[in-house]
Structure formats: C-alpha cells, structure tokens
C-alpha cells in the first residue's frame, strides 16, 4: 500500500468512526471476526462434542447457565461453541463468495462498458438473463444439483450475486468512457489499456468497495437461508443457518436454539449494511460537504 493510499484509508476510517451507526457496524464486524479467528481458544467445548451433562435426565437440551453460556442443543452440544465456529463458516462464505461475485461482476461490467459493440451487447444480455431468475430460487436449484459443501455453497452464491455489480459497473464505465478527459487521452494517442487502467478503473474503485461491503451482508443472509432449507453447509460443520434448521421444531420448548443464531445473523448483516451505507456516502463525490 502506497503512503497516499494509506492516508486515504485512514481518512475513510476516521470518517466512519465519526458516524455512530457506522461505528456500531464496525464494532459488530470486528467482534465477529475476532470470535471466528480465536474460536479454538474461546470456545469452552469442541463444537461437535456431544456432552452427557449437556442434556437433562429426560434428554432435553439445557437452557443457558454458568456452564453452558447459551445453553445446549438437541444432542447436548454447547451452543456458544457452535456459534463461534459458525461465525467462521459465515465469514468464509461471505468473503469468498462475495469476492468472486464482485470480481466477476466488475469484470463483466467493465468489459461490456468499455469495449461496447457486440461484446458489450452479448455480455449485458446474458446479465439481464441471469437477473431475470429470482436469486434465491436459482441458488436453491444450483445447490440441489451439486453436492453441498462449504466451497460449493460459496460458489453457488457467487454465481447468483454477480449481476447487480455488473450492471452498476457497466453504467459507470459507459459514462466514464464518454467523459472529456478520456477523449483527450485517446486524442493524444493513449492506448486502450492505459485509458482503462489509469482513468477508468480508479474511478470505479469506490463503487466496487461499497458493493463489496454491502454484498457480504446479502451473502451471509443467503448462506443462512440455504443452510436453513437444508441445502447449504451440511452438518456436522456448524453454520448459523443449519443450527436454526436443526432446532426449529423445538422453538417453543427451547427458544434459545433459534434466538441466538438468529440474532447473530441479523447483527452481522446489519453491521455490513451500516458500514456499506456509510462508505457509499463518504466515497460518493456528490455527498461531499454534506456531513
């Protein structure tokens, strides 16, 4: 990272910290990231260990107490430990799937917008075709076709989430390609590669950063939905979605099994949304001077 880039990053973080909602989102994200990284050190029990003392004499899960901070599940496993390891699953899928989706969408959008012609028309019609399918329905179909696993779920989510960023980057690239400074560069003999990498892509970085942040929220929710439907990450790998899926029938008798993973999903998605919204306001030139 160059000194200039480091200074800009510091400025953005400082402006984020001055916004209470964005600061709350950053704190939530930081807590979840640290919990996922240090899960082996924090978790009091292995996530898949079935504990005899984790069930009542009648075989029912235990509510939260001093030993099991968030209670136990139907098999006597510590819910707190499973949530910590479930954070790893959510973040891995969120970062990997969203990273692939953003890279794919940005590449398609920039290529279509910059080169135009038949290439742009074909790429954008394919994008429109993909957008015509409901994302959740398409993800369910793809997840059902392939054998669900951590990486397959990440790939499936990426395959249905790239279209929005492709549309956005296409529109902005077309707008930038018609600007006077691009035409001036072309007039003095600058090649297409120089125009693309020196003048087009730098202007797209803020948009890509915002969509990358907001997209993680969507990815986390979609992974939880697929796992809840039983076609996402498969047990015994802990996932916030499959924890709810396994425990939904005991919602009235053991509500903590659904409440705690549900709150975790909501808070993480909310955290990324708050940070993404703040980044959009900070990085959007039309918003400068308003705060």
3-state secondary structure 161-191: HCHHHHHHHHHHHHHHHCCHHHHHHHHCCCC
Pair 93, 219: CB distance under 8 Å:
yes
**Percent of the chain whose predicted confidence (pLDDT) is above 70:** 91
The pLDDT value recorded for residue 15 is: 80
Which two structure tokens, joined as six digits, stand for 91? 């973040």
How confident is the model over 109-143, as pLDDT tens digits?
A: 999 988 888 988 999 999 988 888 887 788 888 87
How confident is the model over 4-47, as pLDDT tens digits?
A: 555 566 677 778 778 888 899 999 999 999 999 999 999 999 99
- Return the minimum-mean-pLDDT range out of 31-45, 168-182, 188-202: 188-202
Query: Which of 263, 259, 236 has its CA nearest to residue 75?
Result: 236
What is the pLDDT confidence band of residue 259, given thresholds at 50, 70 and 90? very high
**Percent of the chain whose predicted confidence (pLDDT) is above 90:** 26
Measure the CA–CA gap between 72 and 62, rounded to whole angstroms.
Answer: 5
Pair 188, 180: CB distance under 8 Å:
no
Q: Which CATH superfamily is domain 20-35+78-287 in?
A: MetI-like (1.10.3720.10)
């Amino acid at each position: 990272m160059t000194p200039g880039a480091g200074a800009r990053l510091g400025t953005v973080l400082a402006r984020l910290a001055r916004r209470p909602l964005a600061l709350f989102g950053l704190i939530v994200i930081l807590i979840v990231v640290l919990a996922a990284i240090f899960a082996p050190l924090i978790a009091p029990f292995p996530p898949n260990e079935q504990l005899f003392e984790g069930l009542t004499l009648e075989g029912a899960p235990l509510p939260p107490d001093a030993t099991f901070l968030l209670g136990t599940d139907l098999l006597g496993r510590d819910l707190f430990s499973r949530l910590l390891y479930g954070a790893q699953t959510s973040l891995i899928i969120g970062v990997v799937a969203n990273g692939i989706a953003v890279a794919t969408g940005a590449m398609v959008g920039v290529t279509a917008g910059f080169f135009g012609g038949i290439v742009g028309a074909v790429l954008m019609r394919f994008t429109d075709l993909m957008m015509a399918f409901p994302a959740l329905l398409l993800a369910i179909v793809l997840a059902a076709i392939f054998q669900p696993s951590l990486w397959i779920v990440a790939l499936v989510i990426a395959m249905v989430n790239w279209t929005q960023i492709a549309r956005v980057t296409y529109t902005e690239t077309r707008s930038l390609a018609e600007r006077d400074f691009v035409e001036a560069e072309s007039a003095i003999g600058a090649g297409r590669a120089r125009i693309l990498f020196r003048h087009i892509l730098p202007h797209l970085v803020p948009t890509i950063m915002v969509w990358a942040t907001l997209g993680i929220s969507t990815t986390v929710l979609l992974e939880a939905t697929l796992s809840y439907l039983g076609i996402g990450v498969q047990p015994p790998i802990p996932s916030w979605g499959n924890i709810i899926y396994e425990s939904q029938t005991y919602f009235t008798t053991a509500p903590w099994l659904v409440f705690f993973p549900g709150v975790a999903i909501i808070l993480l998605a909310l955290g990324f949304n708050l940070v993404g919204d703040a980044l959009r306001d900070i990085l959007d030139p039309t918003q400068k001077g308003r705060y």
